[in-house]
Amino acid sequence: MINVVLCGGNGTRLWPLSRTLYPKQFNKLIGERSLFQMTLERNRTLCTDTLIVSNEEQYFLALDHIEELGYQDAKFLLEPIGRNTAPAIALACMMVDEEELVLVTPSDHIVKNHTEYSRCVKDAMSLAETGAIVTFGIHPEYPETGYGYIEANGIDVVSFKEKPDLTTAEHYIEQGKFYWNSGMFLFKAGIFLNELKNHAPNIFESSRQAFESAKIYQYVTRIQKKDMIQIPSDSIDYAVMEKSTCVKMIPAQIGWSDLGSFEALYQELPKDESGNTLGASFNQVNSRNNLIISKDRFVATVDVQDLIIVDTPDALLVSKKGSSQDVKLIVEQLKQNSSPLCDNHTTAYRPWGNHTVLDCEDNYKIRKVIIKPGQRLTTQMHFHRNEHWIVVSGTAQITVNGVKSFLRTNESTFIRMGDEHSVENPGNIDLHLIEVQVGEYISEEDIFRIS
């Protein structure tokens, strides 16, 4: 059995913790592991292989998290743009033998009862071997309006329901035959592709053509953008699950949550005797039942309750509990204004390492740059700014207008505007640089790449 890990996301529901290029699965929201790492760990004992379906821009971020776990053999299917879950799963199934069992799991959910989870997966495997497409229904704990529901009679699926209003959700709970739709599936690859071909032939055919034109390497399969654009965007629920007669459901009580809101995250975090979340640098006076997340700044509250306070280096969110679903409206406003706050934190991840903005004004920017061993930045030049580089630790090989030199700890160099330059880490440890950009225009658009 292969675990297909869906690793997309727009970074809207838990903003500002998550961003487009740093969605919630890469956040270490609970404990020392990211949600992505926790997903890999709980399925690794059940599956012989792992295939991660990821956006191109999140590939190297995912690699960093995998390397932290010490895993060596995960494969990647990289999409240049997202087309929802049906095409993503179809492309993944085209990479494996048609008889292989496929366990599809989102990468941003938590499962607390691993023993029960393993039992449910094994039960689903038995059903999938008979030709069923199996989904996992979560026993609802309360009338949640943020989840879709599955109506079932035992393991037989009766219908799928959209996210309900509160009255409808309460009615579902009273009936006792409705389950939260977990978004996890198990089936034979060939069975799913055949059902997709029958019920959504346009998705099947365009996905097949895109896969046949993909660039395939040892561990990475890249879909071409011109082909991905041609695939209709649709979810697996709409394209297959609601139409197929092969669908079965395993009822599951596995301590599941998709952490789709700050209220859901609040439920999972440890709290003090007043119901305030622990972990932040925080003092309170007469404050109760608050979600407070802050890594870098001290937070003090007086006479407040039922608030969500999320502090990051470049953005602060304050909301009433119960209203955080509307955080996406803030993100929409930011997108309309082309704000970089939608896409990145102050730290941005690149194939060669990462960089963090320490300070920025109209005519200067200070960044901390970390370059991994053996990695280099492209040769480039700037037309509107000069740069000063200071090595904090490690060794840098600098090339300026074709002339190479080495910089070591506490040494620096000056790059004039118009100079062709690159930097490489030839050592065995991370290279840490402080970069000071000074000029009339310091946007990332003032980069002309030579190679």
CA–CA dist 148, 397 (Å, integer): 54
**pLDDT, position 235:** 94
The token pair that represents 71 in the structure block = 């895993």
The token pair that represents 134 in the structure block = 């199996």
Q: What is the pLDDT of residues 32-52, one digit of tens each?
A: 899 999 999 999 999 999 999
Domain boundary among 257, 277, 301: 257
**Is residue 333 assigned to a domain?**
no
**pLDDT, position 4:** 98
**Is residue 342 assigned to a domain?**
no
The token pair that represents 164 in the structure block = 């309900």
| Contact call for residues 253 and 141 (beta carbons, < 8 A) | no
How far CA 411 is from CA of 309, 362, 390, 434, in Å, comes to: 41, 27, 6, 11
Same domain, 58 and 132: yes
Same domain, 319 and 406: no
CA–CA dist 227, 210 (Å, integer): 5
* Burial class of residue 33 (count of CB atoms within 10 Å of its CB; 0-12, 13-18, 19+): middle
Domain boundary among 203, 223, 257: 257
Same domain, 394 and 435: yes
Same domain, 415 and 443: yes
Q: In 3D, which of 394, 395, 389, 374 has the Cα closest to residue 421?
A: 389
**pLDDT, position 85:** 95
**pLDDT, position 449:** 87
* Segments forming the whole domain that contains residue 442: 347-449
Same domain, 245 and 271: no
Q: How many domains does the chain have?
A: 3
Helix (H, G, I), strand (E, B) or coil at 408: coil
Same domain, 79 and 30: yes
Domain boundary among 278, 295, 326: 326
**pLDDT, position 446:** 84
Same domain, 363 and 315: no
Q: What is the pLDDT of residues 154-206, one digit of tens each?
A: 999 999 999 999 999 999 999 989 999 999 999 999 999 999 999 999 999 99
User: Which residues have a Cβ under 8 Å from the Cβ of 379 and sit 6 or more positions away?
Assistant: 399, 420, 421, 422, 449, 450, 451
**Is residue 335 assigned to a domain?**
no
CATH number of the domain bearing residue 82: 3.90.550.10
Same domain, 299 and 405: no
For the chain, residues with pLDDT lower than 50 are none
**pLDDT, position 296:** 83
